[in-house]
A and B are shown apart, each in its own frame.
Chain A
């Protein structure tokens, strides 16, 4: 029965595809591309069907690798939360894959197959991290995706920034490794105390009274959380992110920027509620307030930094830093609305970020410029891209009916319930700053350039020069999905997110 094998197929399809693409030696570019798209589509299909199974049965799917029973063998656990994140990852991967045709050919003419191999490895790593039910297996997959992402990020955008990309990625490599080591160390502590690595098993053992008060466990938890925070670039551990994502190529940033951070947030939620418990994280440990304040700082810092950027991609990177604050803050609000908002925001923000990075990528692809002034005359030159960018921007600002509005709705509601007024204020502040950020760009695109108070001789004949169709279609789909997700918020919450709320919250 193929249906029973779906969970592993989600991960193995891109994994094996990586080998095949590598073996092809890049003989046929089109062949590589088609194989690659097929693999991404297969993974997408498998994850959708798995999620469907989960939703239909309303119980998690446990898949035992090689038939080994947990806690000895590796186990994949796909419940509502991980199913959702799997669909998100494979959707973004598929859309980016289609989008990548022209930019990748242009950037890496002779090494297309290398690029796609890394792409596939990254995607399978991310999917594996999400699906696995084993903390050590998670570490391994985290390293696989991290290594692939280091390689992808070094592939610079423009000739001028290639050196910078190396340097930025090296910084990320150091930071990322430290983060992974923290996580590994944390696992070590847990393993010493419990002797198991399976999440469900861990959870059962940890919630016995003896261990909850143990300092070892506490340190283990803190180490793991900090490790994940480094990985997700949670302020003030975000230093590696902006440069690494700015200087890399368009497709790499489209893939990595929305996904790496969101998957890390997912892992944080997993750690907090599936391994540890609401009781332990929010009541035994007294860090809730501090983390919410840190999230507020992240939001405010990210927004202000984004405002001060003139490089389009770096601006988006700082927005990502702020959005991380949204999600971490939402989770640590320790109430149902907050967590609902955070989980919804994983989904919404993944698509939003993708939408913006794709639009910006298309602009850079056509103009060869990376500053915000690349958007000059954008409404006439690239009308579709401009609209996609607008929708993404509106979603980040939080204008209904885009999905960004509804995640804010829940996050703010959660903050009000929890009496966290500073978090409310930060969210509103960030929305307002985002207004300025995006309308500044809209102004650049919409108004002619003014010179000394005189209307400059505007090139009246701006020709339409849109990006190729393979870029436009995924962009348009992403933009539409922002509105569709927004309109189906009720369904998403009642069918999926409601089930992810852990007991006791």
Chain B
């Protein structure tokens, strides 16, 4: 084994650092500045730890680490590979930006129980990185559940009746599917194959009959409901009752992407691409994902609440990612891995904007935002860039990943998927551009805002400028993330 250029326990430390920060945050509740210092310290250490492994991973190495043998033949195991790295980088870098934004938003609105908020945020990040570095399905499940539970106090942060309803939906869907579908699927898989390790060849071999495989596939797809595949999607719009920074990081990036990440891991690591195409299972994935792509985009068109529209847009984009993986071609899977990053930066910008608008004006509904560009030009410009990235138009990063997925569709000879991507992008345009258009180019008498520059606090605006900027940077330098995706799929 080649020598590891970093501390052997780095993946564990990367997970633990924010977990240790949580009690420190909780204890410094009386001193907000110290409390936020812990958050930033943890976030910076975390990203530094993750970056310290990046080069080595890019060289084509993977690093596994068995923490403890928990059952005879099964262990809690971490494994750092390029795909996990990509996801960990996205999550940890966005944590820093979101923390800045959280300060602006939470203090700007004077939200209660901020200490609890930052503490659980830190725990949720630990769980996210845990999922990214999971070495087998059991470990992934463990962190997946930890994430569901630790985000519950965040989703229900406002502690009002609406929050209670949203929280109920959140847990019902997430725990219900993970216990009801994913857990038995995992146990059946283990019973059949005796292994839950991720490997590119899959674990099933050729002996398992097709109906069983289809059953398991469906149980896994719907079992990880964080991915929001219809009909298990409605927790996501429900969870929009959360404070916006939570929606931004958790529901545009961490939570939902954990769902997609898990499904991608299962498709590529448990089933394996060859089995998916060999048994024609990928068609099933594509049909389910396509249905969600189109339906959710259509629903998004009808939403007037900005955050809800963004939520349905997220559901559609997540399904796009699964669709890319469902193509089961190298290009398609690479594209879908990359889209996790690209969509992450684009979507978080959009959520930040929605929050900034709320902080500055108190408006939640799109119909109330006519002419808002006159008052908040920076925010709305960022919104424009973010939507470009989500739609997949230049000059934003989303184009690169969508292009890859579309090429994957051609490679797989599935023209109808191509059409789905096309329709999806058109629908994205249809539900994003009117917002931007009305914000800047409305008639004078229509405008609900005066032409007076009044943005949200700096802490709110700065992060969204940063993420919008990164979205553009990613168009010109997609290799920041794509190199990991290529590495994972063994492209030189």
Residues of A that sit less than 8 Å from B by CB: 394, 397-401, 406, 409, 412-413, 416-417, 424, 428, 431-432, 435, 439, 443, 446-448, 450, 453, 455, 486-487, 489-490, 493-494
Task: Judge whether B69 and A416 touch: CB under 8 Å.
Answer: no
Alpha-carbon separation in the docked complex, A424 to B186 (Å): 13
Q: Which residues of B contact A398 (CB under 8 A)?
A: 179
Task: Judge whether B184 and A400 touch: CB under 8 Å.
Answer: no
Given A400-B141, A401-B142 in contact, is the A409-B187 Cβ separation under 8 Å?
yes
Alpha-carbon separation in the docked complex, A86 to B70 (Å): 24
Task: Tell which of A428, A439, A453 touches B171, judged by Cβ atoms closer than 8 Å.
Answer: A439
Task: Judge whether B159 and A432 touch: CB under 8 Å.
Answer: no
Alpha-carbon separation in the docked complex, A237 to B167 (Å): 38
Interface string of B34-72 (1 = CB under 8 A from A): 000000000000000000000000000000000011111
Task: Judge whether A435 and B175 touch: CB under 8 Å.
Answer: yes
Q: Which residue of B lies closest to A415 (CB)?
A: B187
Task: Tell which of B141, B142, B159 touches A447, judged by Cβ atoms closer than 8 Å.
Answer: B159
Task: Judge whether A399 and B149 touch: CB under 8 Å.
Answer: yes
Task: Judge whether B70 and A489 touch: CB under 8 Å.
Answer: yes
Task: Judge whether B153 and A432 touch: CB under 8 Å.
Answer: no
Alpha-carbon separation in the docked complex, A397 to B171 (Å): 13
* 17 more A-B residue pairs beyond the given contacts A400-B145, A450-B160, A455-B161, with a C-beta to C-beta distance below 8 A: A394-B149, A399-B145, A401-B142, A406-B71, A412-B183, A416-B188, A432-B175, A435-B171, A443-B164, A443-B168, A446-B156, A446-B159, A447-B164, A486-B70, A490-B72, A493-B71, A493-B72
The minimal Cβ–Cβ distance linking A415 to chain B, given in whole angstroms, is 9
Task: Judge whether B161 and A489 touch: CB under 8 Å.
Answer: no
The minimal Cβ–Cβ distance linking B342 to chain A, given in whole angstroms, is 32
Task: Judge whether A450 and B161 touch: CB under 8 Å.
Answer: yes
Alpha-carbon separation in the docked complex, A400 to B156 (Å): 23
Given A400-B141, A435-B171, A490-B72 in contact, is the A417-B191 Cβ separation under 8 Å?
yes
The minimal Cβ–Cβ distance linking B359 to chain A, given in whole angstroms, is 22
Task: Judge whether B180 and A489 touch: CB under 8 Å.
Answer: no
Q: Which residues of B contact A400 (CB under 8 A)?
A: 138, 141-142, 145
Q: Which residue of A lies closest to B161 (CB)?
A: A450
**B190: CB under 8 A from chain A?**
yes
**B176: CB under 8 A from chain A?**
yes
Q: Which residue of B lies closest to A429 (CB)?
A: B180
- Of the A-B pairs whose beta carbons lie under 8 Å apart in the complex, a sample of 26, sorted by A's number, is A397-B179, A399-B149, A400-B142, A409-B71, A409-B187, A412-B184, A412-B187, A413-B187, A416-B188, A416-B191, A417-B191, A424-B184, A428-B179, A428-B180, A431-B179, A432-B175, A435-B171, A435-B176, A443-B167, A443-B168, A447-B164, A450-B160, A455-B160, A490-B68, A490-B69, A490-B70
- Secondary structure of the A side of the interface? helix
Q: Which residues of A contact B164 (CB under 8 A)?
A: 443, 447, 450
A-B pairs, top 7 by smallest CB distance, nearest first, are A400-B142, A490-B69, A416-B191, A431-B179, A435-B175, A399-B145, A412-B187
Q: Which residues of B contact A394 (CB under 8 A)?
A: 149
Q: Which residues of A contact B179 (CB under 8 A)?
A: 397-398, 428, 431-432, 435
Task: Tell which of B71, B138, B142, B163 touches A490, judged by Cβ atoms closer than 8 Å.
Answer: B71
Q: How many residue pairs, one in A and one in B, have C-beta atoms under 8 Å apart?
A: 73
The minimal Cβ–Cβ distance linking B333 to chain A, given in whole angstroms, is 28
Alpha-carbon separation in the docked complex, A399 to B161 (Å): 27
Give the size of the chain B interface in residues (CB under 8 angstroms). Answer: 31
Q: Which residues of B contact A494 (CB under 8 A)?
A: 72
Given A400-B145, A409-B187 in contact, is the A446-B180 Cβ separation under 8 Å?
no
Q: Which residues of A contact B72 (CB under 8 A)?
A: 490, 493-494
Residues of B that sit less than 8 Å from A by CB: 68-72, 76, 138, 141-142, 145, 149, 153, 156, 159-161, 163-164, 167-168, 171, 175-176, 179-180, 183-184, 187-188, 190-191
Alpha-carbon separation in the docked complex, A443 to B163 (Å): 11
Given A399-B149, A409-B187 in contact, is the A447-B176 Cβ separation under 8 Å?
no
Alpha-carbon separation in the docked complex, A412 to B76 (Å): 20
Q: Which residue of B lies closest to A493 (CB)?
A: B72
The minimal Cβ–Cβ distance linking B220 to chain A, given in whole angstroms, is 15
Q: Which residues of A contact B176 (CB under 8 A)?
A: 432, 435
Q: Which residues of A contact B168 (CB under 8 A)?
A: 439, 443
Alpha-carbon separation in the docked complex, A447 to B158 (Å): 9
Alpha-carbon separation in the docked complex, A447 to B165 (Å): 11
Task: Judge whether A487 and B187 touch: CB under 8 Å.
Answer: no
Q: Which residues of B contact A446 (CB under 8 A)?
A: 153, 156, 159
Alpha-carbon separation in the docked complex, A428 to B182 (Å): 11
Task: Judge whether A416 and B142 touch: CB under 8 Å.
Answer: no
Q: Which residues of A contact B183 (CB under 8 A)?
A: 412, 428
Q: Which residues of B contact A450 (CB under 8 A)?
A: 160-161, 164
Alpha-carbon separation in the docked complex, A432 to B168 (Å): 13
Alpha-carbon separation in the docked complex, A10 to B167 (Å): 49
Q: Which residues of A contact B163 (CB under 8 A)?
A: 447
Task: Judge whether A453 and B142 touch: CB under 8 Å.
Answer: no
Q: Which residues of B contact A412 (CB under 8 A)?
A: 183-184, 187
Task: Judge whether A406 and B180 touch: CB under 8 Å.
Answer: no
The minimal Cβ–Cβ distance linking A173 to chain B, given in whole angstroms, is 39
Task: Judge whether B70 and A406 touch: CB under 8 Å.
Answer: yes
Alpha-carbon separation in the docked complex, A431 to B171 (Å): 13
Q: Which residue of B lies closest to A400 (CB)?
A: B142
Alpha-carbon separation in the docked complex, A144 to B159 (Å): 51
The minimal Cβ–Cβ distance linking B435 to chain A, given in whole angstroms, is 31
Q: Which residues of B contact A448 (CB under 8 A)?
A: 159
The minimal Cβ–Cβ distance linking A263 to chain B, given in whole angstroms, is 26
Task: Judge whether A487 and B68 touch: CB under 8 Å.
Answer: yes
Task: Tell which of B76, B141, B175, B190 touches A413, judged by Cβ atoms closer than 8 Å.
Answer: B190
Q: Which residue of A lies closest to B67 (CB)?
A: A487
Alpha-carbon separation in the docked complex, A400 to B186 (Å): 14
